[in-house]
Amino acid sequence: MVTIVIIILTCIVSIPAFNNRDFFYRFDFAPYGLEERKQYYRFVTHAFLHGDWMHLFFNMFVLYNFGGGVQEYFEYYLSSKGIFYFILLYLGSIIFAALPSYRKHKNDPSYHSIGASGAVSAVLFSFIIFSPGSSLYLMFIPVPIPAILVGFGYLAYEHYQSRKSNININHDAHIAGAIFGIIFTLIAVPKSLPAFIDQIFYLLKF
């Protein structure tokens, strides 16, 4: 339910902003505006903005597929507090994923960033911690792949792409979000670590 609410809210904010550039630039992630004008709300609001339909669809599609499962895991381990921790995971990762860009570009008035990719990465990697052996299907690959291998491949790809300065995608935010998702899950649910290790050993037997 929380995942659906996040998706609806993101769509309500993103879709009108496609054609309203004043609104778009008022709430996107602009480190220079944060540094010079103390517009700290941008640390959160940028995650509810997307550049186009494809950007919005991809992020919300991944969130839809993994958000509900992650919330269920939190509720399984933490009972009624699970919803609170899931919301904290999502909102906390939005801020944490923006920190590398803030540090790099706080003196650059031309830099802008948007999207929930950092938070979606956190949700994905939280799922991987809870269930590393789950079979995932990727586009154009007709065979199931263990979630833990998808995670390693994702991080390797994002690291490689982050070293290219000519790509207009915030790969640093993707990596930071993934790191936040892993650390937050292990701290919030200490039992997830031995469960993760047990599942990895089970996978290695095959």
pLDDT for the residue numbered 170: 82
* Structure tokens given for 171: 């790969």
> Predicted confidence band at 206 (pLDDT cuts at 50, 70, 90)?
low
Tens of pLDDT, residue by residue over 16-37, are 999 898 899 899 999 987 777 8
Tens of pLDDT, residue by residue over 167-191, are 567 888 999 999 999 999 999 999 9
pLDDT for the residue numbered 104: 87
> Predicted confidence band at 197 (pLDDT cuts at 50, 70, 90)?
very high
Burial class of residue 130, CB neighbours in 10 A (0-12, 13-18, 19+): buried
Mean pLDDT score, 29-46? 87
117-130 vs 82-105: helix crossing angle, rounded to 10? 130
Q: Which domains does the chain have, with CATH numbers?
A: 2-204 (1.20.1540.10)
